[in-house]
Chain A
Amino acid sequence: MAIDTRSSTPAGGADGQRGEDDGAGRAPPERAPLTDAGTADTGDRLMSGTVAPIGNPSENDLRFEAEALPWIDDVYRFALSLTRDASDADDVVQETYLRAYRSWHTFEPGSDARRWLFTITRNVFLRARERERRLVDLDDGDVEALNTFAAHSQMVRDGTDQILSRIDLGPALQRALDDLDEPFKSAVLLVDLEDQSYEAAAEILGVPIGTVRSRLFRGRRILQDKLLTYARDAGFTTARRDQRGNTND
């Protein structure tokens, strides 16, 4: 996947600046960044013989090392979830960190570095795919929720809700996530897998909270539909109930 390295803007036009930490931010992981086998080696030592060390690091660089680099596993996992390709994920992570470094002066100390990096990651991903941000007309979140649970009511009535208890949900969900299209995928990944709040996801995606909500709920509904399809494809059948509560599969 070709990465456009010309832009150093971290958030695809947004400056990546965040307001005060809302408390949802996390402390960086304790393990040392960019090191092998969890050692406490610095990047210089790790890079010995590869890249020449440069004199005394600036305060900014030390902050970047302490606050941004430790999130590389999270950034990689998010990139991998978006791209579903290890090589593409590598490209996205490299470009993400380069843009983050170049824009580090815009990062507000004390705010959520992980969230900021996710913002950059997604924008790098979208640009790399040469996708425009698609504005998908969606019903609002309330309607999405109603549709989801109306579908569940129908599943209960016809017995298909039992199918989901008969398949191994983990692998099925992973497959469904792989197949989930944008913009729903990013909303689901951020909120349901990366534990971001609606507000944080809205900041990362650069959309209003209501849009996150409707994308998230639609994404969940699509995943549930896919699970049912996979279960049926796997041969699980439905114990269909008639109105008297008997089954006649």
Chain B
Amino acid sequence: MTDCPRDIDCRTAVQKLWDYLDQELTPERMAEVQSHLDRCAECLPHHDYAHTFLAALSEARERDVRAPDLLRRRVMERLRAAGFSA
């Protein structure tokens, strides 16, 4: 029994690369992919490319969007009409 991550091949690493970047893998699987990326010059560029893409995508979110005041009033009007009393 060892704590070292199991070796995985490039195909497996690439199959799990999105999941790895999204941190959706089990800790063991995360370690396997990380270990593979640490030593594979073929797969690391895929990681960097995907990482850059996701970072840009996250930034594309329109963070300053606020519901317009008129919409807020309309929502309240409809809620009041439905019995909302707070």
Residues of A within 8 A of B (CB): 34-36, 42-43, 46-47, 50-58, 61-62, 64-65, 72-73, 75-77, 80-81, 86, 90, 93-94, 97-98, 101-102, 141-142, 145-146, 148-149, 152-153, 156, 161, 164, 169-170, 173-174, 177, 188, 191-195, 197-198, 213, 216-217, 220, 223-224
Contacts and interface: CB of A to CB of B under 8 A. Distances in A.
B72 A34 contact: yes
Contacts of B16: 142, 145
Given A65-B86, A148-B50, 14 more contacts: A34-B72, A43-B76, A64-B86, A76-B67, A76-B71, A90-B74, A93-B67, A93-B75, A94-B74, A145-B14, A146-B14, A170-B60, A192-B54, A197-B24
Contacts of A188: 57
A224 B53 contact: yes
7 contacts: A54-B80, A72-B75, A76-B66, A141-B19, A145-B19, A173-B57, A195-B58
Nearest to A35: B72
B74 A198 contact: no
A77 B65 contact: yes
B39 interface: no
Interface residues of B, number: 45
Contacts of A101: 79, 82, 84
A51 B86 contact: no
A213 B86 contact: no
B86 A170 contact: no
A34 B50 CA distance: 38
Nearest to B45: A156
A219 B33 CA distance: 23
Contacts, number: 147
B57 A192 contact: yes
A51 B77 contact: yes
B49 A161 contact: yes
Contacts of B58: 192-193, 195
A217 B50 CA distance: 11
Contacts of B69: 36
A57 B65 contact: no
B26 interface: no
A56 B71 CA distance: 25
B77 A173 contact: no
A145 B72 contact: no
Interface string B29-58: 000000000000000011001101110111
A47 B62 contact: no
Contact of B86 (A57, A90, A223): A57
Contacts of A53: 85
Contact of B65 (A51, A73, A148, A213): A73
Given A51-B80, A54-B80, A90-B71, A217 B62 contact: no
A104 to B, nearest CB: 9
B70 to A, nearest CB: 8
B59 interface: yes
Contact of B77 (A50, A75, A164, A197): A50
B74 A56 contact: no
